[in-house]
Amino acid sequence: MRDVDPWMVLLVLALLSAGLTWLARRYALQRQLLDHPGERRSHRVATPRGGGIAIVVTVLAGTAAGAFLYPAAAPQLAVFAAGLVMVAGIGWWDDHRPLPAVRRLLVHMLASALLAGLAWQATGNALQALLLFLVATALVNLWNFMDGINGIASGYALVGALSLAVVMPMPFALIAVVVAAGCLGFLPFNFPRARIFMGDVGSGALGYLMAALAGLGSVVTDIHWLALLVPLSAFIVDAGFTLSSRMLTGQRWMEPHTQHVYQRAVKAGSSHTRVTGVYILLGLVGAAVLAALVPLPPLQQAGVAVAWGALLACLWAVMRVRLRNY
């Protein structure tokens, strides 16, 4: 079998994602599937939602092609795709008719369990599987909370997917390239001006996909799992610490709000483009840190990853204080 050119995969699937996003926008407008401005939102005009379905369908198309090209991996790819369909499906439903948070969470946990089962099958390591289950469940929900301004969720995921593709061997890196292609095709419709929002169908799916890529990296490389989360750390820190603070103060943390640092920065007067650019820059720095960690022993990789997370946590705390009035 001929080698697959990852650049060609990126181009073809990005074009597919762009076409699907255009169709999703037409569908949302016809169905009046709109996000309206409000106190807990960061946009000022009614905007179609649900464009993330384009990313999901693109990844599923790439997964089907991968199963055809690599038949031995077809069962694992089918399980991965099943989890993606579950997360995206409950998100699509919620975009059309809001569902209770507990029902969505149960579906997220079931999909995360499928990923954990793949890791357990591949490594026989129950602890590694449990960690992937927890990370996947968390990222599905964290990505949803971080999808609040133009381009931030898809742009940060694009950087994260490409950074993980760089450190994984072929053909496993192709899965990350497929995810990056889905984000790349969607991004021009959402940034710098949002003609369509991703919706829960896309944000939850991206969290699942980022967890799947990190889990895959922990299986097919010798990189410590904490290091694999470095390119995703800005989202993990902002969402994790913000939600933790809401829990500690007795607020309903699952409800929509505008208390994340990125949301407060927009309320303070920064543009969506600037704030998204800062997070993408943090993702690029995280990608460089991950690439630099590859030659190090796993224990040193973990130490640097923890230090990077601590640095971001300090930055979050400083910005939280500076933006406390917003």
Token match 């993330």: residue?
A: 52
Q: Which of 105, 110, 111, 131 is nearest to 119 (CA)?
A: 131
- State pLDDT tens for residues 246-289: 888 777 766 777 889 999 999 999 999 999 999 999 999 999 99
Distance CA 95, CA 41 (A): 15
Let me know: does 210 contact 55? Beta carbons within 8 Å: no
Mean confidence (pLDDT) of the chain? 93
Helix pair 199-220, 173-186: axis angle to 10 deg: 160
The tens digit of pLDDT for each residue in 84-128 reads 999 999 999 999 998 888 899 999 999 999 999 999 999 999 999
pLDDT tens, residue by residue, 138-152: 999 999 999 989 999
Please list, in sequence order, all residues whose beta carbon lies within 8 angstroms of the beta carbon of residue 188, skipping any fewer than 6 positions away. Answer: 18
Dihedral sign for Cα atoms in the order 275, 278, 283, 284:
positive
Q: What is the pLDDT of residue 245?
A: 84
Binding residues: 144, 200
Q: Which of 206, 198, 186, 170 is nearest to 283 (CA)?
A: 206
Check pLDDT > 60 for residue 223.
Answer: yes
Predicted confidence (pLDDT) at residue 236 exceeds the cutoff of 50: yes
Whether 257 and 40 have beta carbons less than 8 Å apart is answered as: yes
Other Cβ atoms less than 10 A from the Cβ of 176: the count is: 26
Round to whole Å and give the CA distance between 293 and 26.
44
Of 168, 161, 171, 166, nearest to 71 (Cα)? 171
Which contiguous run of DSSP H or E holds residue 47?
Answer: strand 47-48
Name the binding residues for Mg(2+): 144, 200
Q: What region, left, alpha or beta, does residue 32 occupy, with left being phi > 0 and alpha being psi -120 to 50 degrees?
A: left
| DSSP H helix total and E strand total for the chain | 13, 2
Residues with Cβ within 8 Å of 59's Cβ and at least 6 positions away in sequence, in order, are: 84, 178, 179, 182, 205, 209
**Predicted confidence band of residue 42 (pLDDT cuts 50, 70, 90):** low
Q: Which percentage of the chain shows pLDDT scores above 70?
A: 97
Q: So where are the chain's domains?
A: 6-322
